[in-house]
């Protein structure tokens, strides 16, 4: 069941209105707004008009939908990544990223408030703990918590959780920001790789062999590659980082040497593979962008078995 279907089911359960009637209301709302909102967004508007809200309801991770506000989630912390400092518009701050999971799925949680981050720094919240997030927002498939959100340990018992990322088979024309998708697509454009250096300790970018946290270091080379994928339904600009680039068929010397990259480039164009990753919003162009995390060859035998199973 996709996110939209789960949202409709939940609204139906709370409001007592049939799913069929709700879907008619959603389509009417989208038509009124000239299709400028997604089905999920229209469903949330319909829910609000019906007096349905999820402010006090705890949602499963699989029920979270892009753009949701004031959501409450109980999950287990699977991993905590190094806390990062940043400087933006003359303002200094910190951000903490957690990998959380429950029995339905998993997601990244992003903490922006220093009070919340201090709970991690003081060891009051740690890996393996069950936590409750309140008044959070869903952006790009991530749970974001600001100063109006709340973070606390939960007494709920959380058993087995889904730690493996789940990708849904999608056509490019159907993907939405915040989704984890797998698509069978062809590489139709390939741009020159961008190179940068990172700290071997924390993975942050370094300048003149110096990391803001660890000082002078022996930096590691990293690359970013932009490609355009097409599956016949539409095309999408996609981004590959680090080791993922090599699964496209490029070797290290072809990634970091432009002349060798240009020699190899044409043999990559037209390649068809399975690409899995997350759909993000490109803030510059205001369009969906595909962050590729996994690339798999197309196995004809496996593909035939999948098709047989769907009959």
**183-231 confidence digits (pLDDT tens):** 999 999 999 999 988 888 777 788 888 887 788 888 889 999 999 999 9
Q: Are residues 125 and 172 in the same domain?
A: no
- Cβ(152)–Cβ(237) below 8 Å: no
> Can you tell me the mean pLDDT for 65-94?
85
The closest of 201, 195, 199, 221 to 210, measured between CA atoms, is: 199
Across 24-38, 77-91, 111-125, the highest mean pLDDT is recorded for 111-125
Q: Is the per-residue pLDDT at 265 higher than 80?
A: yes
Report the C-alpha gap between 311 and 295 in whole angstroms: 26
Conformation bin of residue 70: beta by default, left when phi > 0, alpha when psi is -120 to 50: left
Q: Is the per-residue pLDDT at 180 higher than 70?
A: yes
Which pLDDT score is estimated for 1?
45
Q: Are residues 179 and 290 in the same domain?
A: yes
Give me the chain's average pLDDT, please.
88
**149-172 confidence digits (pLDDT tens):** 999 999 998 889 988 888 889 999
Q: Are residues 156 and 49 in the same domain?
A: no
Choosing from 162, 180, 209, the residue where a domain stops is: 162
Q: Are residues 209 and 287 in the same domain?
A: yes
Which pLDDT score is estimated for 69?
82
Distances 1 to 4, 9, 63, 159 between C-alpha atoms, Å: 8, 10, 10, 22
Residues in CB range of 282: below 8 A, 6 or more apart: 237, 288, 289
Which pLDDT score is estimated for 40?
75
Q: Are residues 264 and 173 in the same domain?
A: yes
Q: Are residues 214 and 303 in the same domain?
A: yes
Domain that holds residue 147: 55-162
Number of domains, the chain: 3
């Amino acid at each position: 069941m996709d996110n939209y279907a789960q949202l409709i089911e939940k609204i139906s359960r709370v409001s007592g209105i049939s799913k069929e009637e709700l879907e008619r209301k959603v389509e009417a709302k989208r038509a009124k707004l000239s299709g400028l909102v997604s089905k999920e967004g229209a469903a949330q508007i319909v829910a609000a008009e019906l007096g349905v809200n999820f402010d006090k309801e705890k949602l499963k991770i699989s029920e979270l939908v892009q753009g949701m506000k004031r959501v409450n989630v109980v999950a287990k912390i699977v991993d905590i990544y190094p806390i990062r400092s940043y400087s933006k518009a003359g303002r200094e701050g910190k951000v903490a990223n957690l990998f959380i999971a429950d029995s339905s799925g998993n997601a990244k949680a992003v903490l922006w408030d220093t009070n919340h981050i201090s709970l991690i720094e003081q060891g009051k919240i740690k890996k393996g703990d069950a936590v409750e997030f309140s008044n959070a927002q869903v952006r790009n498939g991530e749970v974001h918590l600001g100063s109006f959100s709340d973070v606390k340990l939960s007494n709920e018992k959380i058993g087995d959780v889904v730690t493996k990322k789940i990708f849904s088979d999608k056509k490019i024309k159907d993907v939405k920001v915040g989704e984890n998708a797998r698509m069978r697509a062809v590489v139709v454009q390939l741009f020159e790789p961008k190179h940068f250096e990172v700290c071997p300790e924390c993975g942050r970018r370094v300048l003149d062999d110096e990391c803001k946290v660890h000082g002078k270091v022996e930096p590691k080379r990293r690359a970013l590659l932009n490609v355009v994928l097409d599956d016949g339904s539409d095309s999408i600009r996609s981004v590959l980082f680090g080791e993922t680039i090599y699964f496209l068929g490029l070797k290290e010397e072809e990634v970091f040497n432009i002349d060798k990259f240009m020699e190899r480039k044409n043999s990559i164009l037209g390649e068809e593979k399975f690409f899995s990753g997350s759909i993000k919003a490109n803030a510059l162009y205001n369009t969906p962008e595909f962050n590729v995390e996994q690339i798999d060859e197309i196995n004809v035998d496996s593909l035939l078995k999948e098709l047989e199973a769907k009959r």
